[in-house]
Homo-oligomer: A and B are copies of this chain.
């Protein structure tokens, strides 16, 4: 009987869904393997019983009820470390915290594998990223991040397989933001007609598709983070983005005059002032028989990594087959040529994000 010990930081939307899926996985697992939860925490407190198994189904509620204890984050790697009696420990970071990400090297050093949908460690400055790679190599432990790009869609794993098997990536091009997918699928159709840009953004916000402040989607930073994560997996681009997503060429859709608006409500109220600018872009595209899509592009040979608003012919897959808030990613490689390998589907949401985490977990156990 081999035991897999799971420690979970973060029991918010994704964290809770992860725990649901973990209950399912533990229940359907092979009898020769036991999956147990030994630690769970939210930003205020933690459940920990000296490494003994916790009840997965009730832990989120217990934390919400304030039944946890206080445990400083910095002590976690030592507390959870892998030991002779507890050889396999997997840390799952379901937060979007920089502070937790900064601990990954220490977790790896203490013999834990790390799985996370948190983009921070992989898309910020190179220093932390390199430390993680280094510690992973030295400890033989893994730091897996499938759901940082496209949530449960097989995007990170596919790129990993392409690279590891010696294929040569020529270009990766895709719609990486569910929010911007929705906005432009609604805004820019082959007819070139439709509601104003600001009204679609307002509608998307009401549906809960945007961040509370839609500028956090429109600034392109999330797309740039995803491009950074993928770029660093491509050998020839490994060191190409020293400052992470800040090194990516980003076209922000936030009008300059609204850049300093802190309130999401105010932002949405003032956005109509800029509808004419967006309308011009839509008309231009329509005249060329094209539609607008906010895409991420990694052009390996040219070493261009950009998040930008681009025009695509109405016959292009980004125009014809993309709907709702779906992501689509096309891998153009030496082998997948002239037609790319394409992965498409919902790229955000708690259930599919948690599935990406479970997918990584399955690779480790």
**In the complex, chain A residues 17-56 whose Cβ is within 8 Å of any chain B Cβ:** 20-21, 24-25, 28, 30-32
Answer yes or no: A162 CB below 8 A from chain B CBs.
yes
Indicate how many identical chains form the complex: 2
> Complex: how many Å from CA A355 to CA B349?
30
User: Would you call A344 and B345 a contact (CB within 8 A)?
Assistant: no
> Complex: how many Å from CA A32 to CA B140?
8
**In the complex, chain A residues 157-180 whose Cβ is within 8 Å of any chain B Cβ:** 157-158, 160-162, 164-167
Q: Determine the chain B residues whose CB is within 8 A of the CB of A321 once the complex forms.
A: 317, 320-321, 342
Q: Report if A166-B32 is in contact (Cβ < 8 Å); known contacts: A160-B362, A335-B346, A345-B341.
A: no
Contact pick for A153, options B30, B167, B341, CB 8 Å: B341
Contact pick for A355, options B161, B326, B352, CB 8 Å: B161
User: Would you call A358 and B161 a contact (CB within 8 A)?
Assistant: yes
Chain B nearest CB from A32 CB (Å) reads 6
A25 to chain B: closest residue by CB: B164
User: Would you call A164 and B341 a contact (CB within 8 A)?
Assistant: no
Q: Determine the chain B residues whose CB is within 8 A of the CB of A341 once the complex forms.
A: 152-153, 343-346
Answer yes or no: A68 CB below 8 A from chain B CBs.
no
Chain B nearest CB from A173 CB (Å) reads 14
Q: Report if A362-B161 is in contact (Cβ < 8 Å); known contacts: A320-B321, A323-B339.
A: yes
User: Would you call A165 and B358 a contact (CB within 8 A)?
Assistant: yes
User: Would you call B362 and A335 a contact (CB within 8 A)?
Assistant: no
Answer yes or no: A274 CB below 8 A from chain B CBs.
no
> Complex: how many Å from CA A158 to CA B137?
27
Q: Determine the chain B residues whose CB is within 8 A of the CB of A343 once the complex forms.
A: 154, 341-344
The interface bits of chain A over 343-365 (1 if a CB of B lies within 8 angstroms of the residue's CB, else 0) are: 11110010110110011001100
Answer yes or no: A340 CB below 8 A from chain B CBs.
yes
* Subset of 23 A-B contacts with CB under 8 Å: A20-B166, A21-B165, A24-B165, A25-B166, A28-B164, A32-B140, A152-B335, A152-B341, A153-B341, A154-B157, A154-B161, A161-B362, A164-B359, A164-B362, A320-B321, A321-B321, A335-B349, A336-B345, A336-B346, A336-B352, A339-B346, A340-B345, A343-B343
